[in-house]
Structure 1
Amino acid sequence: MNKIIILFGLGLFTQLRSQELQKTMIPKISNEFEKITIQDSKKKDDDRCIETPESRKEIFSASKSEYRLSIYYENSFYRSDKFYYKNGYIKNKSLSFNMGSPVGILYHFDKSGKLIKEENTDEGYHFTPENIVEYCEKNNIVLPKGYHESGFYTRVRKDVLNGKKVWVIEYLIPDGDIQKVVLDGQTGKEMERETVPFVSS
């Protein structure tokens, strides 16, 4: 009987752990060189959105100086952001959380493809993105996953307030306005809270 209870408990723990990992799936990114291949696919003003079989969307854009590829994952709060020189060689790449604040290591490369710098974007942020997810769940704030074409969704970004690194969370509240919350980047303590009128663009 005890063995059955233990096995049931282990099975339940594994299932919950699996759900937790799925909920906060973090894509992998490395410091390896890469080169982008510009495919002859449907194109509109040098921007395109490609849906892949791996349940992700790739948003490609081009400017005069560089290419950009953002990869959104259907079941993740994160995306991959990669910038390329015009020769197709990687310029820099990192993971981004929610609306685009880089997290983890931002890798920089020169035009020959050589890795020249590894920048720790989490410096000064002991309150992690995973802590942000927990905070939002606790406070009934819905965080979006994957790619969304339009509309207002909860926005989370890193910022600096009075010399202190902070997280800024903005989300819609029932009366149609936006609730803005500022959390200390070190401790997660709430520093500011204000209601901002929602203005449709």
Structure 2
Amino acid sequence: MITREFEQFDIGKYQVQQHNESHVTLPDGTSIVQSGNRETGFIVNTTPPKPSFFVVYKYYYGNGNIREKAVVLGEDTYVGKSYQFDEQGKLTKETNEDAAFGKFSYNDVLHYLHQQKMINIHTGENRDRLHLKFNNIDGKKTWEADIEINGFNNLYVLDGETGKVLKKANHIPIRIVE
């Protein structure tokens, strides 16, 4: 999905398309959202077609050079390898994000949620409703999965080593109305 190779954001093409944000859906269903400016930098989020549950995040400096790229699952969890670059485009850090996880991997979490009929790994159903977070607090590794379905949030907390269900709850999400 991503490589350690240098990349550059095409600022000129982006400025022609739109000034603040650009959203394109390719014929295969891939969604590409671009936003940013020369002052704060640019962001490109690429969501492959279903059934993929992953999103590729790429952050660029204001000069268009790549700053960081990573594969993200459930909006919060970096998976696979991530890469960071300096402003000149030199690779400064390569991180194996999977090394932090326990024996119960993110793929195991996806399969568990599929068995619970919260998501469908074959069709991508509910991928946009899945928030997945990995925690490592004092050596205790856990996965928190929160899926909003039919107006309820379904929360699962799973042991990161064994996959044992530590908590399962349904609640109505809090909505802030202004």
Select the residue among 167, 185, 189 that pairs with 2:143: 167
**2:161 maps to which residue?**
186
Unaligned 5+ residue runs, structure 2?
none
**2:6 maps to which residue?**
33
RMSD of the alignment, in Å? 2.5
Higher alpha-carbon Rg: 1
For the pair 1:136 / 2:113, whether they are aligned, the reply is yes
Q: CA deviation at 1:54?
A: 3.7
Aligned equivalents of 1:154 and 1:147: distance in 2? 7
Q: Is residue 184–residue 191 contact of structure 1 (8 Å, CA) maintained in 2?
A: yes
Aligned equivalents of 2:136 and 2:129: distance in 1? 22
Unaligned 5+ residue runs, structure 1?
1-27
Aligned equivalents of 1:82 and 1:96: distance in 2? 10
Matches within 5 A, 1:138-157: 138-142=115-119, 145=124, 153-157=129-133
Select the residue among 83, 86, 105 that pairs with 1:107: 83
Secondary structure of 2:117's aligned partner: coil
Aligned equivalents of 2:172 and 2:44: distance in 1? 33
Aligned equivalents of 1:107 and 1:41: distance in 2? 28
Q: CA deviation at 1:180?
A: 1.1
**1:14 maps to which residue?**
none
Aligned equivalents of 1:196 and 1:147: distance in 2? 17
Count residues in correspondence: 168
Q: CA deviation at 1:200?
A: 3.6
State the one-letter code of the partner of 1:50: V
**1:56 maps to which residue?**
30
Question: Which region of structure 1 is more displaced relative to structure 2, 116-125 or 85-94?
Answer: 116-125
Select the residue among 38, 41, 44 that pairs with 1:69: 44
The percent identity for this pair of structures is: 26
Aligned equivalents of 1:87 and 1:107: distance in 2? 18
State the one-letter code of the partner of 2:35: S
Select the residue among 84, 90, 98 that pairs with 1:122: 98
- TM-score, structure 1 length as denominator? 0.73
State the one-letter code of the partner of 2:33: I
State the one-letter code of the partner of 2:147: Y
